[in-house]
Amino acid sequence: MEDKPKIGELVVAEVKEVHSNSVELNLPEYNLKGFLNVSNIPGLWIRDLKKNIKVGQLIVGKIIKIDHTIEISLKGVSKQDKERKLKEYSLEIKSVKMFRRACSEYKIKDKQIEEKTLDLKKNFGSLYEALKKLRKGEDIGLDGEFSRIVDRFKTGMKTYEFKGELELHSNLGNGLDLIKQSLLELKGIDISYIGNTKFLLKLKTRDPKRGEKNLIKEAEKAISKIKSFGGYGKFRLL
């Protein structure tokens, strides 16, 4: 989907009001007003415009003029064109809802979601195409806060993240090596150094009920190991 509509482009239009010789439209893909003149409707419909076009109906037309409103024509739009365009539109609507819902679960702000959605549409033509590539494992530029939803779209399931702070201490001369050996006890945990022998532990899981328990269990392994070397440690959930 482009940033701005173009002459000759097929668009989906929602009927807002039907007059005797024209139809007022809304173009949801661009959030713009549209217009359809009776002369640009196939002859069969002209006889009874209000009978054939209803308020709320979705139609597919070709842009023929861009002014203060977008004028479209139904002439030259085949059945196949209409079906293809409506399918694309339906897939895009579903993709937008899905993306927004996933982002909301991770408390990402609405403004950020809107900006990222527009960015993905600009780079990939539509949000549907962007998410399609993401599901195939391609990098579509979801960094920062949005990196948390990558696994959700790759697997179709929400990933939960649990965090904790682990402290390991040893007063022996080779204490640093002993701490490193203790950290090797941690399995399936992302470890990053905070400072002053403190480490940030992260565990990603699709099972929220066991995630916290598993993180504590892994931390206790490291603490047990450092204790076997004469050191000590402690852990707290964040």
In CATH, what number is assigned to the domain containing residue 222?
Answer: 3.30.70.1130
- Residues with Cβ within 8 Å of 63's Cβ and at least 6 positions away in sequence, in order, are 5, 6, 7, 8, 9, 10, 11, 70, 71, 72
Instruction: Give the pLDDT confidence score for residue 153 in this predicted structure.
Output: 77
Q: For the chain, where are the E strands, in sequence order?
A: 10-18, 22-27, 32-37, 58-66, 70-73, 160-169, 190-195, 198-205, 232-237
Query: Mean pLDDT, the chain, as a whole number?
Result: 89
Confidence of residue 110 (pLDDT cuts 50, 70, 90): very high
| 8 Å CB contact between 27 and 13 | yes
Chain centroid to CA 161: how far? 18
In this structure, is residue 15 part of a structural domain? yes
Average pLDDT over residues 63-73: 93
In this structure, is residue 164 part of a structural domain? yes
Q: Is 2 a residue whose pLDDT tops 50?
A: no
Taking only the tens place, the pLDDT of each residue in 163-197 is 999 999 999 989 999 999 999 999 989 999 998 88
Confidence of residue 44 (pLDDT cuts 50, 70, 90): low
Average pLDDT over residues 200-213: 86
Instruction: Pull the structure tokens for residue 20.
Output: 């005797």
Q: Quick one: what percent of the chain has pLDDT higher than 70?
A: 95
Instruction: Give the pLDDT confidence score for residue 206 in this predicted structure.
Output: 74
- Give whichever of 74-78, 141-145, 146-150 has the largest mean pLDDT: 74-78
Q: Domain boundary at 155, 178, 210, which?
A: 155
Q: Is 1 a residue whose pLDDT tops 60?
A: no
| 8 Å CB contact between 69 and 5 | no
Q: Domain boundary at 77, 95, 112, which?
A: 77
Q: Is residue 56 domain-shared with residue 87, that is, in the same domain? A: no
**Crossing angle (nearest 10°) for helices 127-135 and 79-105:** 70
Domain count, the chain: 3
Q: Is 67 a residue whose pLDDT tops 80?
A: yes
Average pLDDT over residues 66-84: 93
Of 186, 182, 159, which is closest to residue 230 (Cα–Cα)?
Answer: 182
Q: Domain boundary at 133, 155, 177, which?
A: 155
